Amino acid sequence: MENTDIVKENKWLKYKEKGIEGFFFLNGILAVFILLGIFFLLIREGYPTFKEVSIVEFLTSTRWNPTSYSQSGYGIVSMVVSTLAVTIGSLLFSVPVGIAAAAYLAEIAGRKEREILKPVIEILASIPSVVIGFLGIVLVGPAIARFFNISNGLNVINGSILLGIMAIPTIVSISEDAISSVPDKYKQASLALGTNRWHTLIKVTIPAALSGITAAVMLGMGRAIGETMAVLMATGNATAFPKGIFTSIRTLTATIAIELGEVPYNTTHYHSLFAIGAVLFMMTFLVNLVSDIVLHKYGEGE
CATH number for the domain harbouring residue 173: 1.10.3720.10
For residue 180, tell me if it sits in a domain.
yes
Mention every residue, 6+ apart, whose C-beta is less than 8 A from residue 173. Answer: 102, 118, 121, 122, 216
Indicate if 146 and 180 belong to the same structural domain: yes
For residue 51, tell me if it sits in a domain.
no
Which candidate, 114, 301, 92, 289, places its Cα nearest to that of 207?
A: 301
Indicate if 204 and 133 belong to the same structural domain: yes
Indicate if 147 and 293 belong to the same structural domain: yes
For residue 296, tell me if it sits in a domain.
yes
- The count of structural domains within the chain is 2
Indicate if 102 and 7 belong to the same structural domain: no
pLDDT tens across the length of the chain (302 residues): 456 666 666 777 777 788 888 888 899 899 889 989 999 999 999 999 998 888 998 999 888 988 877 788 899 999 999 999 999 999 999 999 999 999 898 888 888 888 888 888 888 888 888 999 999 999 999 999 999 988 888 899 999 999 999 999 989 988 988 888 888 888 888 888 888 888 888 888 888 888 888 888 888 888 888 888 889 898 988 888 888 889 899 999 999 999 988 888 888 999 999 999 999 999 888 887 877 777 676 554 44
The Cα–Cα gap between 201 and 160 comes to 28
Indicate if 142 and 281 belong to the same structural domain: yes
For residue 151, tell me if it sits in a domain.
yes
Q: Computed from CA positions of residues 221, 226, 228, 231, in that sequence, does the dihedral angle turn out positive or negative?
A: positive
Indicate if 96 and 24 belong to the same structural domain: no
C-alpha pair distances (Å), 18 with each of 15, 226, 296: 5, 37, 26
The Cα–Cα gap between 203 and 172 comes to 19
The pLDDT of residue 46 is 92
For residue 242, tell me if it sits in a domain.
yes
Indicate if 42 and 131 belong to the same structural domain: no
Indicate if 12 and 99 belong to the same structural domain: no
For residue 52, tell me if it sits in a domain.
no
Indicate if 253 and 129 belong to the same structural domain: yes
Q: Are 137 and 236 in contact (CB under 8 A)?
A: no
For residue 130, tell me if it sits in a domain.
yes
Which candidate, 100, 101, 93, places its Cα nearest to that of 120?
A: 101
The pLDDT of residue 5 is 61
Indicate if 12 and 115 belong to the same structural domain: no
Indicate if 22 and 103 belong to the same structural domain: no
Predicted model pTM: 0.84
The Cα–Cα gap between 57 and 77 comes to 9
Indicate if 218 and 100 belong to the same structural domain: yes
The Cα–Cα gap between 101 and 41 comes to 40
Range of the domain at 24: 2-46
